[in-house]
Every structure is written in structure tokens, then in C-alpha cells.
Amino acid sequence: MKAIIIFFVSTALVCGCGCKTTFAQKQEKPFAVASVKVAELNVTGMTCQDCADHITGALSKKAGVLKSDVKFAENSASITYDPASVNEAEIIRTIEEAGYKAEIKGVASKEGVKKDPAPHACCVPKKKN
């Protein structure tokens, strides 16, 4: 009796014939492949690595942002995002709400870039009591 049960269970689990039984393997992919985009941005106003970490933290809270790589030394950010949930304008707005300027690479700035920006809040020494 055990052998019969094992035979039927193993046959049902490995059935890949395309039949419509409950245990048959599906022919199509079981999960949808999400389309993602990468935004390459110029980021200005960063004065240290903590600034880059601050931007990364702000972006990690944004729904639809899958990964962010903010580089202080290069004044750049590479953000991988789901275009169904968020767009580039919202990503730029999130960076600007954190206190920095951002623009898509290759787009010229209208204002120009300050050579010596004022330090951001993360860079200002905290008063000791």
C-alpha cells in the first residue's frame, strides 16, 4: 500500500506533461517580471559622506525605489526604481526635500553650481552642553 501511495504522489509532483491536473507543473512563468528603470542623477549640495547617506536614507523610505547608490565623491546618484510606483520627478523631489539639488545627468543646470556650498545640517558641528 505504501508503494502505491508513493508512486502516485511522486508521479503527481513531477508531472510536466502539460495536463491541467492540480499538481502539474505550470508551463508559464509563475511570477511576473517587474520592469525597472535606473535614473542617473547629478546631486549638488553634498559636503561629506554623511550627506550621501542622508539622501540614501530618504530614498529608502520612498515607495517604488528599489536601490540607490549615492556617491559623494562624484556628486552623483544611481537610483533603481519601479516606474509603476514612482517617477524621476518624485525621486528628484525626495532628494530636494532632504536639502540637496538633483537633476538628470546630461541636463544643464539653469542656475549654475555654487563652488563653495554652505554645509548641510549633517556637517554642522553640534553644540555640546
Q: Return the CATH architecture of domain 37-104.
A: 2-Layer Sandwich (3.30)
Domain boundaries, the chain: 37-104
Distance CA 118, CA 17 (A): 68
Distance CA 12, CA 6 (A): 10
Q: For the chain, what percentages of helix, strand and coil (3-state, to nearest 5) are there?
A: 25, 20, 55
Q: What DSSP string describes 111-124? A: S---SSPPPPTTTS
Count Cβ atoms within 10 A of the Cβ of residue 95 and give its class: 0-12 exposed, 13-18 middle, 19 or more buried: buried
**In tens digits, what is the pLDDT along the chain, a chain of 129 residues?**
776 766 666 665 555 555 555 544 444 444 555 688 999 999 999 999 999 999 999 999 999 999 999 999 999 999 999 999 999 999 999 999 999 999 998 755 444 444 445 556 566 555 555
**C-alpha cell, 38:** 535606473
